Structure 1
């Protein structure tokens, strides 16, 4: 795990001191490992005592072996989860966590603990709750059952009901520093070339989960294509048209997301390489790309259009001599 150190320390200190808040908001970008952290906390609580003895330990301390085996098997009765469920027994997930799901969990909270000293509710993600479900959860957070701990995972905490946020202690999962990410990724995948490691780290924005997803995406090759547009201006549109074809359609959504992930790092590099007087055009294209992506997400997500427009933005940054050839 990377990027969890501060959150783990805060939680363990509260547990050891006997001041464990009943609800914790795990807030930060998607891909930071908040779900994995919640699972570690849940395992820790159901395999350990009530705390308050002042003895700090690690979240990875094994604790009660029998309870730990139940967790491994996914059968521990005191770990409950709220997540979006598949629609119509298919693979696609429902848009929201429903009010009926929340009510089902609330009914479970009225039962006595059957094993151990804690019950843990993981909501992944609380952003996905229906409005009625969020209000029902809020009522439970206002009058929480004893020995029950809520772990609310949020990728966009600013969108939550302020009353839900106010009932929680917040643990923030911030993007990991560039040098720490580079060292971690190089250790995790020593077979990668350092140039590729640096490209992945730049495209990941300090989010470990995104870095892992990018490993098999041939970041270096895509970066080379985008830089070629920025260097030449692509006067005949050949490179931009090829890019648009490569990211068009739902089957190529992953490639389009890769381009969107890579572009900020490329623009930052171009800005660093240029004189101060020439930075403004780079920033202008960054704003333009952001608007393009935002508008595409709000409307019909036309991958080819987004790819070609990103290519246009990069082409605008080509040296004027090269672009005029």
Structure 2
């Protein structure tokens, strides 16, 4: 992670960090499913919570974890005469909320990717040794006389050894234990794991919801930019905030202006764009811009396949897409999208010259558009 991006994240984390966020907006249906399972007295021991990054999966997982940890021991509560629960909400002042927020609840274990201090970013995978702590934790006696809960945030980042360790737990689940797996790509996990979990897929948030959340959490962003960020993030408030903090919308506007010159690129502007992205290795601009270019190409190809352009993020996109579609068909643009993806991935693994990589990606678009 770049220093600039790392500096921008604490503000978002203060209000939206899943373990410290008391609110969940736009996922009432998913919350109701969890409540119904709890109230039935037959709560599944493992849940696989999936969906697009930044839509609130981890927030829901910690919300449910706090709720469960605030309840009586398994086998008591519901059958002891308590009324059915109607909400998972716990106020920020609740003792369980405070202990979970501080990472100090003895009956909650969180497993996630750790930071690589040398490279100043998150590690690629969740450490298998961290995953192996889950089994002993869930099997031990509850420290507070209730449930034991483990949350794996980024479960699709476990390697095969970690997945096998989880599978052993799922094959013989301990009593009074709850395992919550949060995944951006649940379909990519082992079928044997998916079949042993209750699946809960969160939908992307409506555009209006993302705009309202930006008003709440990024009040200095102007109305026009909030709408553009909501469209750019495609229903992910986390992504919208990340792009806002990283200057992603300004980069996107510059990128679309550059592409609008196709079928002939403005070479001077292309070099200036490459220089801007690679002037500093730690400002995050290169990563943000390359992600946006790959996203735009995928969006263009999907829209071309459907025969309908999406709502514009910035003015001029529909005209650009129309011109490119008239130059080449869907198959060619899918090839370009795949080529650019491979190019950026290879640049990361082989430490290629970043400016030249950007220029090569733009040249691939120019070649297809000519």
Using the size of structure 2 for normalisation, the TM-score is 0.73
* Contact 1:141/1:167, CA 8 A, preserved across alignment: yes
Please give the alpha-carbon distance, in whole angstroms, between the structure 1 residues aligned to 2:274 and 2:96. 53
Structure 2 counterpart of 1:311, from 362, 365, 369 = 362
The answer to whether residue 243 in structure 2 is matched with residue 214 in structure 1 is yes
Number of the residue aligned with 1:251: 282
Deviations 1:5-25 (A, max 9, x none): 222121112112222110000
Please give the alpha-carbon distance, in whole angstroms, between the structure 1 residues aligned to 2:339 and 2:356. 13
The answer to whether residue 176 in structure 2 is matched with residue 147 in structure 1 is yes
Query: Offset of 1:251 from its aligned partner?
Result: 2.3
* Contact 1:28/1:156, CA 8 A, preserved across alignment: yes
The answer to whether residue 256 in structure 2 is matched with residue 227 in structure 1 is yes
User: Aligned residues, how many?
Assistant: 319
The answer to whether residue 54 in structure 2 is matched with residue 23 in structure 1 is no
Query: Offset of 1:121 from its aligned partner?
Result: 0.7
Cα distance change, pair 177–288 in 1 and its aligned pair in 2 (3 A):
farther
Aligned to 1:150, what secondary structure does the other structure show? strand
Cα distance change, pair 197–286 in 1 and its aligned pair in 2 (3 A):
farther
Deviations 1:150-184 (A, max 9, x none): 00111221221110011101111232233332343
Number of the residue aligned with 1:164: 193
Please give the alpha-carbon distance, in whole angstroms, between the structure 2 residues aligned to 1:57 and 1:217. 39
Structure 1: which 5+ residue stretches go unaligned? 321-325
Number of the residue aligned with 1:288: 336
Number of the residue aligned with 2:350: 300
Query: Offset of 1:112 from its aligned partner?
Result: 1.4
Number of the residue aligned with 2:104: 75
Aligned to 1:80, what secondary structure does the other structure show? strand
Please give the alpha-carbon distance, in whole angstroms, between the structure 2 residues aligned to 1:95 and 1:308. 27
Greater CA drift, 188-197 or 7-16: 188-197
Number of the residue aligned with 1:137: 166
Deviations 1:20-50 (A, max 9, x none): 1100001122222322222211111111235
Cα distance change, pair 237–10 in 1 and its aligned pair in 2 (3 A):
same
RMSD over equivalenced CA pairs, Å? 3.4
The answer to whether residue 61 in structure 2 is matched with residue 38 in structure 1 is yes
Please give the alpha-carbon distance, in whole angstroms, between the structure 2 residues aligned to 1:15 and 1:133. 28
Structure 2 counterpart of 1:4, from 27, 30, 51 = 27
